[in-house]
Amino acid sequence: MKKGKSARAAVDKARGKAKADERGVYEEVMLRIDCGTDVAELELGKDKLIAFNIDSSEWTHETAQNGVKCVKIKIVINATNSTDQDLKVVFKKATLYSLKDKPLEMPVITVEKKPFEREMPSRLTKQIEYGNVITSKWEKNTRAIVVFHFAVGDESGALRTAAMVLK
């Protein structure tokens, strides 16, 4: 059985033969291969100090005030600190994967141009919202996945969203 990148060509071939309403399943598999991770829930630390999962994700077409067509991305992440100490979560990078383009590195900085960091109080689950507006080059119904890279102290890891369909 082929795994990872070596399976992509076979999945793409099967997508080409599939009925139109079934192609989305193959596209999602190809995106998961392309993004290099299948982690939908992430725990960091030897003793599972902090856990992340995606609560919701969406991307929608919008028109900016200056009339430019844009895509608005909104992702809500649940983070649970199971320790007795406060922890700082640093978002290292976010990458958008779609089948039609090369991976797009998206900024993970605050409005003040500082690193995107969140303090996680001890013994608490907190929702962290990531948002971005980028110039649109995608058509309606395009599928994409966003992969986040986090760091907590010396530990780091990657977490992906489910496939999002552009509305």
Q: What is the CATH number of the domain that holds 84?
A: 2.60.40.10
Q: E-assigned strands of the chain?
A: 41-44, 50-63, 69-81, 87-98, 104-106, 117-120, 124-135, 143-152, 155-160, 164-165
Confidence band of 59 (pLDDT split at 50, 70, 90)? very high
- Which percentage of the chain shows pLDDT scores above 90? 37
At 72 the pLDDT is 93
- Same domain for 75 and 150, yes or no, is yes
Residues 88, 157, single domain; the answer is yes
In the three-class reduction of DSSP (H, G, I as helix; E, B as strand; rest coil), residue 154 is classed as coil
CA distance 139 to 118: 33
Query: Which residue would you say has higher pLDDT here, 57 or 48?
Result: 57
Total structural domains within the chain: 2
Q: What is the mean pLDDT of residues 65-72?
A: 89
- 16 and 1 belong to one structural domain: yes
Has residue 20 got a pLDDT over 50? yes
- Same-domain status, 107 and 125: yes
Is-contact 148 142, C-beta < 8 A?
no
Please state the φ and ψ torsions of residue 42, each to the nearest 5 degrees.
-130, 135
pLDDT tens digits, residue range 85-101?
A: 898 899 999 999 998 88
Containing structural domain, residue 29? 1-36
In this prediction, residues 126-150 reach a mean pLDDT of 90
